[in-house]
Amino acid sequence: MRELLEQYDAWRTQGLAVGRAVVIRTYGSAPRQEGSVLLVAEDGRMVGSVSGGCVEGASAEAVDEARRTGQAKVVRYGISDDLAWSVGLACGGTLDVLVEPSVPDAVLAAARAQSGGGGPDMGATVVTALPADTPEPATERPGAAARARATLEEARRDALETGRSRTVKVEDRWVFIEAFPARPRLVIVGATEVARSLVGLAGALGYERIVIDARGAFATADRFPDVERLLTDWPEDAFDAIGLGPNDAVAVLSHDPKFDEPAIQEAIRRGARYVGAIGSRKTQAERRQRLLEAGVTEEQLGYLHGPIGLDLGGREPAETALAILAEIVAARRGGTGAPMHARARGA
């Protein structure tokens, strides 16, 4: 939803009503994930997607109907439906789409919030009771309210940690938890050529980017014009300044022990979501021994990705940056890094 706000605001400025469709459940090989949004203006224009092109037209018609009736509803599209072939959802998947006559104020507020990646702020969620669901007859069950609160809070935390919206059952009702996680943050230690490429790739994925290097000749605005922050401090001081925390990914690229090792120790101590360090196997082995001697435990070293990145076979700075960011995304999203065709074959 965040990426659609500019167009939403433009339509509203023109005086147009705007409804939306949002994917709330997927089954099988669905083309879009939960939380994917399609906005539909009353003049017929659309932005966003709930299916990669398969059911946008049908969803837009459903939004128009919801605008006329003023009622939200859930629509299912799937291969088992006669409609599936006519709208093109021949991929074998099924979608449940929540169709709303307008975009709720709570959703707009959560989408506009641009909290950073550091500190305890994980972001925001919006909980919507699904309109197509009819609760079971009300019965007073001991502890039901407490269980419902606990279930909902656990689901909210998980949605924010993974960055994935989801539908869950809370006692007698199905609810949709729409996640608006804090903007992911990538902290790069070492203003190298790989760092320059990594900054560009991470920006395309919406990461807030911070580059740290005490060597002022490397950490210049000319070399890093697009980063959100550029710090010429030692890693420990810089981590204090930015409030490095569990929502951050740290890529240590300086290839200099006096920068690398304090940065690794401090990033692990602060519980960063991802900590990776560049260097050959020989460099990693020597670094590992020094870190153990400095008091880092074997368990803590288990969190270190070194050598950093996935094995893509590339050696150019941009290729190395791509391998690093691919591993960061896999760690954040719970991916394996395995080829998709291998997964499809059950390998």
For the segment 306-335, the average pLDDT, to the nearest whole number, is 93
Q: Is residue 344 part of a domain?
A: no
State the pLDDT at residue 172. 79
pLDDT in tens, 136-195: 444 456 677 888 889 899 999 888 888 889 999 988 789 999 999 888 899 999 999 999
Residues 155 and 132 in one domain: yes
pLDDT in tens, 6-54: 999 999 999 999 999 999 998 876 778 899 999 999 999 999 999 866 6
State the pLDDT at residue 137. 42
Residues 210 and 169 in one domain: no
- Residues above pLDDT 70, as percent of the chain: 88
State the pLDDT at residue 182. 83
Secondary structure (H, E, C), the chain: CHHHHHHHHHHHHCCCCEEEEEEEEEECCCCCCCCCEEEEECCCCEEECCCCCCCHHHHHHHHHHHHHHCCCEEEEEECCCHHHHHHCCCCCCEEEEEEECCCCHHHHHHHHCCCCCCCCCCEEEEEEECCCCCCCCCCCCCCHHHHHHHHHHHHHHHHHHHCCCEEEEECCEEEEEEEEECCCEEEEECCCHHHHHHHHHHHHCCCEEEEECCCCCCCCCCCCCCCCEEECCCHHHHHHHHCCCCCEEEEECCCCHHHHHHHHHHHHHCCCCEEEECCCHHHHHHHHHHHHHCCCCHHHHCCEECCCCCCCCCCCHHHHHHHHHHHHHHHHHCCCCCCHHHHHCCC
Greater confidence, 317 or 115? 317
Residues 79 and 154 in one domain: no
State the pLDDT at residue 134. 41
Residues 318 and 210 in one domain: yes
For the segment 81-109, the average pLDDT, to the nearest whole number, is 76
Domain tally, the chain? 3
Model's pTM, two decimal places? 0.75
pLDDT of residue 72 exceeding 90: yes
Can you give the residue range of the structural domain that contains 173? 119-136+144-181
Greater confidence, 53 or 246? 246
Residues 35 and 125 in one domain: no
